[in-house]
Amino acid sequence: MYAIIDVETTGGSPSVDRVIEIAVFVFDGEKITDSYSSLVNPKRPIDAYVTKLTGISDAMVKHSPTFEDVHHKILELTNEKIFVAHNVKFDFGMIRQEFKRLGIDYNRKQLDTVTLSQKVIPGFQSYSLGNICDSLGIEITDRHRATGDAEATVKLLKVILDKQVSQKYIEIELNHGIDVDLLPPYLSKAEIEKLPEDAGVFYYKDEVGKILYVDGSKNIRKKVITEFSKPADSPEQTRMFELMRNIDYELTGNELIAKLLSYKELKKHLPEFNKKPRIQAHTHGIFIDKDEQGFLQMKIHPLDWAEGELILKFPSKSVANKIMAKIINENNLHGWFALRSKMKENGLEEKGLNNYNAQIEKAIRKHLYRHSNFFIVAEGIHPDEHSVIWIENNTYKGFGYFNPELTAKTPENLKEVIKHDEDDLEVQKIIRAQMRKMKSTKIVPY
């Protein structure tokens, strides 16, 4: 039995937004056997965009029942049913969060009609509910309202179920996306099912525990399932599959530390089936200091150069020269260099000197972190802890974990929890790339 569900919400974030309308259709594969729908008072304003899209206003839900009022009915209708929605991650996530606010751990087996329709009825350009229903001739009587969208999803599910191949893909979906036919021959489904849907490092191991492959991900189980979603496509991968016996993992709390730890483990163990790391030692750097007249200047020297501030580090003098040229060209510094020469010939003006130095500083900072010395504070492994990464003089120092209730976020305290690690070019690439992606981070400069 299936419970096909659609919700309309105040916005798109389960952590802060709330359900404003819900519809449930109980479906036995042939016909609808029960149904329920209701507006829901979210106890918070509805975004103007949502009102424009759905037509549901604050006034419409003002006297409607709250989710707490309707939650017993949702529990009853979905009990021992497969939770089905078009983009199930969103609808299930919103409802699960509503139950969480009530102190209820809500879990159901789930099917996503987006994924199923892509596999069972391939070939369409778009699988949004409106487009796929239009392509299949399924009428949606009330688009962007819970009842209309849920009823259309019932009809779409019926089309999917009528296809002979559907049962295979439904079984895969109910197995959390695991296709047992594609798993390595000596790896059980249980090895996949034990993996958490959390950030961390995972290790493929042989029968004696030797690490064959290591990687990091923000969702360990999802990443592993994706890697086993198609047959081995090379002799090396086929051999790795034949050697695999189990999968181990280590949680990290967030993707950035997962990437840093997996790189550290890669350098330490050099697993046979990973691409070997290209470890390049830093030898030269771009230094910045002031000449006798106060003008900022960039120079390339070996790292043990004792004068000026080290800004960027490189594996060779030639690489440093390339980056120096890039900084100059991208920021049109040649013109500023010419202006500097004129100012030196015609006499210095404080305003001109300050403008020049500000331009040089701005050009250099584009290739640096916003701060030279700082900590990155993000999610920890456990709910009552945070992770911290230390950068000093633009150099990675290591990472650690702390309890925010017991440890104040001062530089002295944060340094105490750091497990020191080595910096290199790959580490810097990882940190810069992940900082652009991670939104729930806090920078603590000092």
pLDDT tens, 185-202? 999 888 888 888 889 999
Residues 311 and 353 in one domain: yes
Q: What's the angle, vertex CA 114, arms to CA 223 and CA 132, rounded to 5?
A: 150
Other beta carbons less than 10 A from residue 361's beta carbon: 11
β-bridge partners, 402: 386
Dihedral class, residue 294 (left if φ above 0, else alpha if ψ from -120 to 50, else beta): left
Q: What is the number of other CB atoms lying within 10 angstroms of the CB of residue 111?
A: 21
**334 given a catalytic annotation:** no
Domain boundary among 174, 197, 216: 174
**Rounded to whole angstroms, what are the CA distances from 232 to 32, 181, 274?**
42, 12, 15
pLDDT per residue rounded down to tens, the chain (446 residues)? 999 999 999 988 787 899 999 999 999 999 999 999 999 999 999 999 899 999 999 999 999 999 999 999 999 999 999 999 999 989 998 999 999 999 998 989 889 999 999 999 999 999 999 999 999 999 999 999 999 999 999 999 999 999 999 988 898 778 766 777 889 999 988 888 888 888 999 999 999 999 999 999 999 988 999 899 888 889 999 999 999 999 999 999 999 999 999 999 999 999 999 999 887 778 999 999 999 899 999 999 999 998 888 888 888 999 999 999 999 999 999 999 998 998 888 887 888 899 999 999 889 877 778 788 999 999 999 878 999 999 998 889 999 999 988 899 999 999 999 999 999 888 988 998 888 877 667 899 99
The catalytic position among 71, 86, 144, 386 is: 144
| Whether the Cβ atoms of residue 296 and residue 357 lie closer than 8 Å to each other | yes
If asked whether residues 137 and 35 sit together in one domain, one would say yes
Q: Which of these three, 131, 158, 174, is where a domain ends? A: 174
| Domain ranges, residue 242 | 180-269
Structural domains counted in the chain = 4
Q: What's the Cα-to-Cα distance from 280 to each of 226, 319, 335, rounded to whole Å? A: 31, 12, 34
Looking at 174, 208, 243, the residue that finishes a domain is 174
Give the residues across from 289 on adjacent strands. 297
Pair 19, 156 in one domain: yes
Shared domain for 241 and 192, answered yes or no, is yes
136 and 185 together in one domain:
no
Does residue 350 sit in the same domain as residue 380?
no
- Three-class SS state of 60: helix
What span, in angstroms and rounded, lies between the C-alpha atoms of 412 and 29? 62
For residue 136, with 0-12 CB atoms within 10 Å meaning exposed, 13-18 middle and 19 or more buried, which class applies?
A: middle
Residue 205 domain flag: yes
- Establish if 277 belongs to a structural domain: no
**Any domain includes 348:** yes
Write the DSSP symbol of residue 374. Answer: E
Q: Do residues 72 and 159 both lie within one domain?
A: yes
With respect to residue 260, please indicate whether it lies within any of the assigned structural domains.
yes
CATH number of residue 154's parent domain: 3.30.420.10
β-strands 110-112, 82-85 pairing: parallel
In a domain? residue 278: no
Do 359 and 379 reside in the same domain of the chain? no
Residues 322 and 188 in one domain: no
Would residue 275 count as lying in a domain? Answer: no
Locate 412 and state its tokens.
């002295």
- Residues 84, 51 share a domain: yes
Do 165 and 190 fall into the same domain? no
CA–CA separation, 263 vs 321, rounded Å? 27
Please provide residue 187's backbone torsions phi and psi, each rounded to the nearest 5 degrees.
Answer: -110, 125
In a domain, residue 333? The reply is yes
Residues 208 and 349 in one domain: no
pTM, rounded to two decimals? 0.61
CATH number at residue 205: 3.40.1440.10
- Gap between the Cα atoms of 160 and 173, Å rounded: 13
